[in-house]
């Protein structure tokens, strides 16, 4: 049995932290018969089996929700910009100077992609969470 533990102190000598440590065969013979090391659940979200989960015990890699948006370019293909209207993660800004894309200072619309306009963003992909330590009942 694996339990989520919310304290910095260990629950008791009857539990081992799920950090990949070796199981002592003399101290925990029943657990050792099942596994020689505890599972390593540090930094891993445990997920109930079913729905979109991977197979039992299989590590499923990270993924993000699809991010979409659109913009229209008007004219005969020579109108670089004028992508009105935009939706989703796209937005535009009117520029009156600069040399991006070799425009020699001619005013233009610059089209940008910003995922934060559609989904929450961070430096990692993650579900809503709260940190816990996982322990396995050893005896």
pLDDT per residue over 79-125, tens digit each? 555 456 778 888 877 766 655 555 566 666 677 888 888 888 888 87
The residue with greater pLDDT, 70 or 7, is: 7
Please, which contacts does 30-38 make with residues 24 or more away whose CB atoms are closer than 8 Å? 30/139, 31/136, 31/137, 31/138, 31/139, 38/136
- What share of residues in the chain are helix, strand, coil (percent, to 5)? 10, 25, 65
Residue 49 forms beta bridges with which residues? none
pLDDT of residue 100: 56
Number of C-alpha atoms within 13 angstroms, CB side, residue 9?
3
Instruction: Indicate whether 75 pLDDT > 60.
Output: no
What percentage of the chain exceeds 70 in pLDDT? 80
pTM (2 decimals)? 0.66
pLDDT of residue 107: 65
Structural domains in the chain, CATH included, are 1-65+126-139 (3.90.1340.10), 69-117 (no CATH)
């Amino acid at each position: 049995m694996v339990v989520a533990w919310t304290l910095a102190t260990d629950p008791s000598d009857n539990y081992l932290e799920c950090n990949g440590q070796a199981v002592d065969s003399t101290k925990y013979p029943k657990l050792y018969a099942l596994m020689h090391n505890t599972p390593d659940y540090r930094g891993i979200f445990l997920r109930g089996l079913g729905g979109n989960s991977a197979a039992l015990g299989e590590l499923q890699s990270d993924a993000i929700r699809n991010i979409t948006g659109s913009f229209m370019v008007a004219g005969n293909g020579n109108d670089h910009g004028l992508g009105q209207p935009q939706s989703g993660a796209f937005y535009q800004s009117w520029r009156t100077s600069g040399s991006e894309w070799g425009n020699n200072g001619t005013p233009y619309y610059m089209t940008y992609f910003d995922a934060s306009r559609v989904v929450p963003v961070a430096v990692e992909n993650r579900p809503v969470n709260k940190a816990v330590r996982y322990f396995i009942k050893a005896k």
